[in-house]
Structure 1
Amino acid sequence: MIMPILPMFITALGGTGVVVGLIGGLRDSLSSILKVVFGYWSDKTGKRKVFVSSGYIVSAVFKFMLSLSMTWQHVLAFASLERIGKGLRTAPRDAIIADAMPKQRGRGFGIHRLLDTSGAIIGSILVFILFWSLGFDFKTIILVAAVFSLVSLFP
């Protein structure tokens, strides 16, 4: 829900196109580097569920913080920190999926991607409704996304 409005939120807070690109690049780079680090660490410790749950918690917390941003510099910090959660959880989560379906890994990852992409599509539609139809501002939409993120942690 955050990605469709993040560039507009950054520009509303005074960021330029260069700043939007900087934030996007930093988020992706940080997440990618940390996937390797935390994937290795989770293999060494064998505590994959701890990494996965911690990653989702970190992401949820910094989504809340992102909704409090007053400047594009806040967005830079909080959006980057939120991606630490993705770096923390991704490789261990993928290892859990692979271990859970050793003879059907392709199916397991296919189901995972289907659900992930479906959530992204539904989230984008929800953002459209909240922003264009109901007139929610960027911070409120990000707060709604943070609440969804937090609620999804509970079974």
Structure 2
Amino acid sequence: MISYGKKEIEALAFIEPINTNKIVIDTEKYIKKAHELRSEFLADALQKMYRATVGKYKEYRQLEAAKETLFAMTDRELKDIGITRSDIELAVEGKREMETTTKVGFWRKLMNKFIEAQQARAAYVHLMAMDSRQLADIGLTRSEVEAAVNGNRKDRANDNLAQPSNTNDHRKAG
């Protein structure tokens, strides 16, 4: 047993309320409690780490077993389930096809929009430079050029697309 002054007793009161009239405090009790709490914490942390490690290893072994089973199949059997040998890794790991595109940032998107606008402008100028016969050959009228460039072919100015009636069906040239 160690004897403490008023300051030490007040400091210990923050840990566990005690009768401040006592001058003698059982420090062994607090040390023992601290050791128990530390042991419980370390045991819990080690248990969690063990479970995570063993869980990852078990998952890895299951994936490897599935891959071995699929690689043992014939090409015809693989075709029946809808995969090829090159797809086995992706199929077992649950991944889709490899991502070939990268994320596009703000400035790249802005640049792409600018390039698209310039290309649309050039297409508009090119189509407007054509005469009416050339436009008719590609199925456009001058009033439909803007809609075609913007990809809005449904917004056609001339929606009378029916074929004209031919009254000369029964006449023979001659």
Q: With structure 2 as the length reference, what TM-score do the two structures score?
A: 0.23
The structure with the larger Rg is: 2
Q: Which has the higher contact order (CA 8 A, sep 6+)?
A: 1
Query: Which structure shows the bigger proportion of residues in helix conformation?
Result: 1
Give the TM-score normalised by the residue count of structure 1: 0.25
